[in-house]
Amino acid sequence: MTEENQNEQVADENSQVAEDSPSAHVADLNKESAGFAFGNDAVTKYPDHVRAALDYAAANRYAYGPRFRNAEINWNVVSVEPMSNNIARVRVEFVPASGFRGDPGIEYMDVDAGGAVLARRQISIPKENSPVMLMGITAFSVVLAVVLISLMTVFKPESGDPLYVRGRTLWIRAEEPKGQDYIVYNGADSEGTIQTWAMKPVDEVLNELVYVKVTLINQTSGTVNLVIDEKAATLLDGDLKTYLPVNTITTAYAAESTLQYNVPGFIPMWGSLKLNEGQQVVGMMVFEMPKGSSFTEIRWIASDSASIKYQ
């Protein structure tokens, strides 16, 4: 073998070793992973794939289920992962456009170079934060820091107060209703941490939320079992149209604090409890009514019957 042929053989062997070595595979993997992009960088690097994925998601909302398929959705590109044959996996988050506080839903779509979506998989749906502490309703408690106070030392009926009436077993006081576009208040979450919660009307354009501070007092009966729900009371407007209470448990969602709609000392009144003799419970009942409504009276129904007139 000549010296020239021997050198060519050594070069070929070295080349083959380099191709088979682990470092060569690592280099290939690094080259492939270099195309992985996140957020705005992913949108910039893979605009066609991202556009196709978002257009497909917007046009095919059936996958979001009955709760979200008709809602206005916002999408956020999380990442794009390049695959073989010019296919890219576009991963996105999606949430309702308004009134939502919680964890976004996540899905991904595999999109080819021509913009066709080859596969779609939904990993999770949006999960709204709920004031879980408010949901811990038992037979002996109302929601969130219900105030039970001995009337023997604290409460004295105010003579001549038109907002203070007596039913068959309860004394009831309902303050003047107050309306605003949203209700924001502070309360505990599932871990007992105080944070901000909010409620909004179903029809945000035409309606507002009206809250009434209600005090229920048991002065005469041994024990009164109360169920405070959609049938506990009715609020009548100026045309004597009747409105039922809003469920302050299911409608509350985590929100940012805002002074404009904050209701200091707001305590949702909802659930069931036993009110012993000489005790009272205080909380807010909420109604959804047309903006600018006037109020004629509130009628208490739960475990008793009484009317408090405002006009």
Q: What is the pLDDT of residues 60-111, one digit of tens each?
A: 887 787 777 788 899 999 889 899 999 999 999 998 887 677 778 889 999 9
The pLDDT value given to residue 239: 92
In a shared domain, residues 193 and 266: yes
Partner residues linked to 282 by β-bridges: 215
Q: Please say if the pLDDT value at position 219 is more than 90.
A: no
Measured in residues, the chain has a length of 311
Label residue 309 by pLDDT band (50, 70, 90). Answer: very high
- Residue written as token pair 């070295």: 14
Which of 19-23, 223-227, 228-232 has the least mean pLDDT?
19-23
Where residue 271 sits, what CATH number does that domain have? 2.60.40.1240
The pLDDT value given to residue 3: 46
Q: Which of 152-156, 252-256, 267-271, 289-293 has the highest mean pLDDT?
A: 289-293
In a shared domain, residues 123 and 138: no
Label residue 221 by pLDDT band (50, 70, 90). Answer: low
The pLDDT value given to residue 50: 96
Q: Is residue 289 one of the residues assigned to a domain?
A: yes
In a shared domain, residues 41 and 170: no
Which of 81, 98, 128 is the endpoint of a domain? 128
Of 2 and 301, more confident: 301
The pLDDT value given to residue 192: 65
The pLDDT value given to residue 116: 95
What is the total count of domains within the chain?
2
Q: Is residue 27 one of the residues assigned to a domain?
A: no
What pLDDT digit, counting tens, does each position of 97-108 carry?
Answer: 876 777 788 899
> What does DSSP assign to residue 129?
-
In a shared domain, residues 117 and 167: no
Q: Is residue 231 one of the residues assigned to a domain?
A: yes
Determine the 3-state secondary structure of 234 from DSSP. Answer: strand
The pLDDT value given to residue 304: 84
What pLDDT digit, counting tens, does each position of 166-187 carry?
Answer: 778 888 999 999 999 999 998 8
Q: What spatial distance separates the first Cα and last Cα of the chain, rounded to whole Å?
A: 117
Mean pLDDT over 22-45 rounds to 61
In a shared domain, residues 117 and 203: no
Residues 6+ apart with CB under 8 A from 136: 143
Q: Please say if the pLDDT value at position 164 is more than 50.
A: yes
What pLDDT digit, counting tens, does each position of 107-135 carry?
Answer: 999 999 999 999 998 888 887 655 443 44
Distance CA 69, CA 85 (A): 32
In a shared domain, residues 50 and 159: no
Q: Is residue 93 one of the residues assigned to a domain?
A: yes
Q: Find the domain containing 111 and state its range.
A: 35-128
- Residue written as token pair 């070595």: 21
Q: Please say if the pLDDT value at position 295 is more than 90.
A: yes
The pLDDT value given to residue 141: 33
Round the CA-based radius of gyration of the chain to a whole number and report it: 31
Distance CA 79, CA 292 (A): 47
Label residue 189 by pLDDT band (50, 70, 90). Answer: low
In a shared domain, residues 212 and 172: yes
The pLDDT value given to residue 10: 43
In a shared domain, residues 138 and 118: no
